[in-house]
Structure 1
Amino acid sequence: MARAKSSTVKHTVISDFKEITKMRLSLSVVFSSLAGYLLGVETINIQTLILLALGGYFMVGASNGFNQIIEKDLDALMKRTQNRPVPSGRMSVRSAFIISSIFTLLGIIILYTINKQTAMFGAISIFLYACAYTPLKTMTPIAVFVGAIPGAIPFMLGWVAATNDFGIEPGTLFALQFFWQFPHFWAIGWFLYDDYEKAGFKMLPTGKKDKGTAVQTIMYTIWTIIVSIIPVFGFTGKLQLSIVAAIIVFILGLGMLNFAIRLFKEMTAKAARQLMLASVLYITLIQIVYVVDKFIN
Structure 2
Amino acid sequence: MKKILSAYLELTKPRIVFMILVTTVLGYYLGGKGINSWPVLFYLIIGVSLTCAGASVLNQYLEREYDSKMTRTRNRPIPSGRITADAALTFGIILSLVGLFILYVEVNILTAFLSLLTTFLYVMVYTPMKRVSWLNTTVGSVPGAIPPLGGWAAATGTLDFNAGMLFLILFVWQHPHFYAIAWLCREDYQKCGFQMLSVIDPDGDRMFRHTLFYAAILVPVSIIPVFTGQTGLLYCIGALLVGCAQLWISQLFVKTRTHADAVKLLKASVFYLPTIFILILLDTRF
TM-score (norm 2): 0.95
Is the 8 Å Cα contact of residues 35 and 288 (structure 1) preserved in structure 2? no
Consecutive unaligned residues in structure 2, runs of 5 or more: none
Residue 202 of structure 2 is aligned to residue 208 of structure 1: yes
Which runs of at least 4 in structure 1 moved beyond 6 Å after TM superposition?
Answer: none
Bigger shift: 85-94 or 125-134? 85-94
Query: 2:242 aligned to 231, 252, 258, which one?
Result: 252
Distance 1:204 1:58 in 2: 32
Is the 8 Å Cα contact of residues 114 and 149 (structure 2) preserved in structure 1? no
Query: 2:227 aligned to 211, 233, 241, which one?
Result: 233
Distance 1:255 1:155 in 2: 24
Residue 43 of structure 2 is aligned to residue 51 of structure 1: yes
In the alignment, residue 157 of structure 1 is paired with which amino acid? Answer: G
Query: For the aligned residues, what is the CA RMSD?
Result: 1.4
Consecutive unaligned residues in structure 1, runs of 5 or more: 1-8
User: Residue 209 and residue 20 in structure 1: after superposition, are their counterparts in 2 closer, same or farther (change >3 A)?
Assistant: farther
Q: What residue in structure 1 maps to residue 140 of structure 2?
A: 147
Residue 281 of structure 2 is aligned to residue 288 of structure 1: no
Q: CA deviation at 1:212?
A: 2.6
Q: CA deviation at 1:42?
A: 3.3
Distance 2:163 2:210 in 1: 25
After superposition, the C-alpha distances for 1:250-286 in whole angstroms (9 at most, x for unaligned) are 1110111111111111101221121111111101110
After superposition, the C-alpha distances for 1:58-115 in whole angstroms (9 at most, x for unaligned) are 1111111111111101100001111111111211111111111111112111222211
Query: 1:276 aligned to 261, 266, 273, which one?
Result: 266
Residue 212 of structure 2 is aligned to residue 221 of structure 1: no
Residue 25 of structure 2 is aligned to residue 34 of structure 1: yes
After superposition, the C-alpha distances for 1:105-138 in whole angstroms (9 at most, x for unaligned) are 1211122221110000000000010100000101
Map 1:2-41 → 2, pairs under 5 A: 9-10=1-2, 12-41=3-32
Q: CA deviation at 1:43?
A: 4.5
Q: What residue in structure 2 maps to residue 183 of structure 1?
A: 176
Report SS of the residue matched to 2:207: helix
Aligned length: 283
Q: CA deviation at 1:244?
A: 2.3
Identity of aligned residues (%): 35
Distance 1:279 1:209 in 2: 23
Query: 1:167 aligned to 141, 157, 160, which one?
Result: 160
Bigger shift: 67-76 or 155-164? 155-164
In the alignment, residue 133 of structure 1 is paired with which amino acid? Answer: Y
After superposition, the C-alpha distances for 1:21-55 in whole angstroms (9 at most, x for unaligned) are 11111111111111111111135122222222111
Report SS of the residue matched to 2:146: helix
Query: 1:116 aligned to 102, 109, 114, which one?
Result: 109
Bigger shift: 46-55 or 124-133? 46-55
TM-score (norm 1): 0.91
Q: What residue in structure 2 maps to residue 63 of structure 1?
A: 55
Is the 8 Å Cα contact of residues 141 and 207 (structure 1) preserved in structure 2? no
Is the 8 Å Cα contact of residues 141 and 171 (structure 2) preserved in structure 1? yes
Distance 1:288 1:208 in 2: 37
Q: What residue in structure 2 maps to residue 4 of structure 1?
A: none
Distance 1:207 1:51 in 2: 45
Is the 8 Å Cα contact of residues 157 and 170 (structure 1) preserved in structure 2? no
